Amino acid sequence: MNQTYASSADGTGIDAAKVAALADEPLDWRFKALPPAAWGLTVGQYLATRPALADLGTPLLTLDAGALDHNLRTMAAWCEAAGVALAPHGKTTMAPALWQAQIEAGAHGITLANLPQLRVARAFGVDRIQLANTLLDPAGLGWLAAELDADPGFAFTSWVDSAESVRLMDDALRAAGAGRPVEVLVELGGPAGRTGARTVAEAVEVAEAVRRAPTLRLAGIGGYEGALAHDASEGGLAAVRHYLHQLEALHLALAGRYESEQPVVTAGGSAYFDTVADVLRPFADAKVIIRAGAYLAHDDGFYRGISPLSRGAGTPLRSAMHGWARVVSHPEPDLALLDAGKRDLPYDEGMPEPQNVRTGAGAGAGAKSLAGTGARISRLNDQHAFLHGAGDLAPVGAVLRLGLSHPCTAFDKWALIPVLDDVDGPAPRVVDLVRTYF
């Protein structure tokens, strides 16, 4: 991968050679972002032709190199100043090259959510992984045991939230003949939240069950505050803070029971990591790890509004992802249909935001801003977007740049994502191609 936005090149924590080998992947019809002119070339060969945004078709998702670099460095600096470690959630991008950039910028490791994601990470040699979930699949636990036994340098933690999950893990690991114990974090949840023991007392009981299981090792505690709030209102922030104080109480209750020299205390998605650092950072005896994943791409929607760095906690992030769609029909004066829909763009945290329009020779033609015009997208079908308010600014054939909301449901629609040198430039060039594995 082109290291345009990586801060170093030592490859620590991931197999840099395997990531670099992605440049040798042949390109063909499987990658919907690329034109036929790329077919038969490798990634490296195609990039050597210096393709332009104007050469790419629609629908399209792109990343911006400058914004990625800004976000990478901004978050690394914030974590260092806040005194917390960062294990970004890899499920957001499922892109080993972007994981490498995060690790090289100082990330403690990579967080993942399920077994298939874990296998992708191991295929690329990621050697410090937190599974923010409970792994109960017997075959998966057998595979994990073999990975741990074969690689002494592989550091892995999983979550557990009940004595039953502890029993099932222990049974499967014993059956697999596991040599190394699996480090686990006891998960604390909250009312109507996601997984996790619902009270501190219940979580302490789970911790004791872990201590009795010979194949497991109590390495810390964790949880997810983002399941308990969905905005930065006074009520939402109060709910997050109350939950984090419960996590604090659990840590204090487990003092002297951890089976690790420096236990892990982890929380913090991309919405409330400042509050996490504020409440949990005072633990001198623990490593406090936040797991923000959306920060790297950021967005022009949900995270633009809720990120702590948008609310005064530091230097704001920049949206690094954009959609591109062409007007294919203008059947009514106030309705135009674009050639991008639910199969191409995220929509679960808000509709795409029309930002500018390019007319003429493809997406690389001169752009006109749509700010202040009232242009909006009202809904998406599988393959179409319904555009209103653009009028004559968006004739048939015009290409719109769209601001997007929620990186987690943008990346999963694209196996290969072009990276532009400057999305705001008059003629953006493709400087990289990011491979994803969903």
Please report the sign of the dihedral spanned by the C-alpha atoms of residue 55, residue 58, residue 60, residue 64.
positive
Measured N-to-C along each axis, helices 115-123 and 138-150 cross at an angle, to the nearest 10 degrees, of 20
Phi, psi torsion values for 287, nearest 5 degrees: -95, 115
The predicted pLDDT at position 5 comes to 38
Cis amide bond preceding 96, omega within 30: no
Cis amide bond preceding 282, omega within 30: no
The predicted pLDDT at position 345 comes to 98
CB atoms within 10 A of CB 413: 19
Place of tokens 């290291």: 3
Please name every residue paired with 216 in a beta bridge, in sequence order, or none if there are none. 182
Domains present along the chain, CATH in parentheses: 16-64+317-435 (2.40.37.20), 66-307 (3.20.20.10)
CB atoms within 10 A of CB 215: 23
Q: Is the pTM of this model over 0.75?
A: yes
The predicted pLDDT at position 1 comes to 44
Task: Name the burial class of residue 2, with classes exposed (0-12), middle (13-18) and buried (19+) by CB atoms within 10 angstroms of its CB.
Answer: middle
**Alpha helical stretches, state H, 254-311:** 273-280, 302-306
Q: Which two tokens stand for residue 154?
A: 């592989």
C-alpha 377/C-alpha 380 separation (Å) is: 8
The per-residue pLDDT string of the chain (438 residues; one tens digit each, 9 = 90 and over) reads: 444 433 333 346 999 999 999 999 999 999 999 999 999 999 999 999 999 999 999 999 999 999 999 999 999 999 999 999 999 999 999 999 999 999 999 999 999 999 999 999 999 999 999 999 999 999 999 999 999 999 999 999 999 999 999 999 999 999 999 999 999 999 999 988 899 999 999 999 999 999 999 999 999 999 999 999 999 999 999 999 999 999 999 999 999 999 999 999 999 999 999 999 999 999 989 999 999 999 999 999 999 999 999 999 999 999 999 999 999 999 999 999 999 999 999 999 999 999 999 987 555 567 999 999 999 999 999 999 999 999 999 999 999 999 999 999 999 999 999 999 999 999 999 999 999 999
The predicted pLDDT at position 10 comes to 39
